Amino acid sequence: MISTKGRYALRVMVDLAEQNTDSYTPLGEIAARQEISEKYLEIILKTLVKEKLLKGLRGKGGGYKLTRSPSEYTVWEILTLTEGTLATVACLAQDAEDCARSPKCRTLPMWREFDKMVYEYFSHITLEELAQGFAAL
């Protein structure tokens, strides 16, 4: 399940992409539009700035803005940054220890295929598409 943090991070990134501006957008404006508490939003924004998805500026005229074009961000990138992993089962998580059952596990190939589909789906949706009103095929 995608957490609130991941969903809110996507909403914030889409919000900034929709602003289509090179100027900084204040935290309060983003929080108001997205109906997210400023306190919680600060935590999410801090992560996005630290990983260079956003640029932050303090003080008068400050706020946040994208560091790249919306077409250069993918949903996969944003979600894995905020969620850590989107692995369906623990044994497929990036830092998972080897499972003694994996050689004989009849379900493991299915989970691998499912994770591959999730990756392929989210890695092909850009922030630009979401900001323009994503329409699934």
pLDDT tens by residue, 82-118: 998 899 888 888 888 888 888 899 999 999 999 999 9
In angstroms, the CA 128 to CA 74 distance is 9
Cα dihedral sign for 63, 68, 71, 73? Answer: negative
In angstroms, the CA 52 to CA 68 distance is 9
Q: What is the pTM of this model?
A: 0.88
| Low-confidence spans in the chain with pLDDT less than 70 | 135-137
In angstroms, the CA 43 to CA 129 distance is 25
CA distances from 45 to 58, 109, 129 (A): 13, 36, 21
In angstroms, the CA 2 to CA 6 distance is 6
| Residue-level pLDDT at 136 | 61
CA distances from 69 to 24, 34, 46, 81, 111 (A): 14, 21, 20, 18, 33
Structure tokens at 117: 């589909």
CB of 99 within 8 A of CB of 112? no
| Residue-level pLDDT at 100 | 84
